[in-house]
Structure 1
């Protein structure tokens, strides 16, 4: 049906899985992106004007293409399908008849008229996994609400907790806005992808399912550790939420993050620091005492960090067994030794023909490495005739 080498590669984990994606949000589009990365054939049903994500920031200055859309759409296909008319709905019906999974973030108020009500899809396509991806889910008092990324970050609790640590200390007057980019939506997309696969694998025994994914719920799950603190009466806040010692430190020429969660890591950190007298205090052998004196410890550690270069700190720390890493620029990430060894990035062709490096997936498979790469589809690249 489609001449795409990646989709014809039967060694990929999701080879043979066909996904129809109706997305206007990052969460649903990212779910499709993850499935496409694993070898599923993902077809985006777009309106004649194209997905709004095609115009989403940030935009590449030289080609005026959305960098966000390029990442979310790589490896997919595009088919124009206007569900406001009968012809479009019939086209979608033919596509769903041959699909395994439907990713759908259509607002509830529009689903009935567009033929996407879950009871209708269940009746017409008994083996289809229909995954609803909405900000607050498809049930409950907020099911009809829309939400931007900033709303979802705060609804999931992270907005109350960030920025914390060094960022909060350096800029205490800054309001808690949101994590850069689409953190909340990516969490929702991950949940939607895994739920879709769980339901799909169960089709031989249970048939198709309707899966209701809430982006807010997915983000609450990420912050479960902060929520469980409510059980002991404590309340996390961005000014107090941090590791008692460790965290982000400013070095001579950049920033380093150090976390010592185990006794052996603390002992290694003491070695890294040159075994200063303050660190050899017998009382600091007790992890609870170290936590109680976290602010004091960090004062000493910061003084030492400012006197040393990042690369020297990280290389010595890792040799000693201290969990430490450098905060790197995007260029450094692309050319990093770890990223290169794991083939995390691959060349992808944009609609303009420009070739760029894109993250293949936030994971890899040992027995069937993901090829990545491919291309970003032009709007409506697939005609109805080709699909037939």
Structure 2
């Protein structure tokens, strides 16, 4: 059996004809940039998150970069984030001219260790970026409690966690702004790249709009130095078509994760810890073992499309060598990079596929 990570056909339902017809009409009519389709998706997405504003952008990376700039992060500022995030989180900080300040991950949740946050804050700190990693909400209450003076913006990196909740509140509605990715691998996937910034702050939303549209406030009137980073209208149509099914897909991902946990119980594996108030959406299902690389080879040989994400932590990446980080600076992030393995998880994963993946993992530890 082959168990794949993705099944794009299933995301379009039994009859994608209406969407195909709409895309065809858009192509022929020249509806490409900042059309009604984009306005409609932005409105629906803001309502889904329970926020006042959402702006579609070219990618999740651009969302982070533009959100930081809209919050006033410039040359010489410091921005705190976690050491076990994806490259884009820290790259966006550098692209703004700011200095990234890393804190280590928490051992059980794999999220930013909020206990280390206070020690990382300096007079130059202008933002904190908690990452809702793998679909798990970051400890937002503990983070927000440490930055109440308004000097430091909390920008949620929700690229992997669209639809996740804390105490019933959607991630993306808790900080000054939130950034999303619609990369094809994500729970809400475009047919290519896409991203968004969401916020309840009207002034911040205006800055995001200016920054994504070449700094224009009206045709040919450029008031800031902006980017050209707009969500394509066709991508907006695809995302708007899929959005109503996202809660169902996320619920199904939780069911698959629960089945994995049950079938892999009593093995020398650890899972990402989830608090009762947190609603994980399992963009990735991670198992943790000090025999990770051997397990990966074993299950892939059996046709299971498992994968390692972020095998080299941020502080050891060549792109950030000039910042002076060294091996041993963030030991939890280093251990996670060496021990985490993603098993396939999709909303349409069948019982037979789940059982097969679990049997492959169990056979590895039983020496068969």
TM-score by length of 2: 0.27
Greater relative contact order (Cα < 8 A, sep 6+): 2
TM-score, scaled relative to structure 1: 0.26
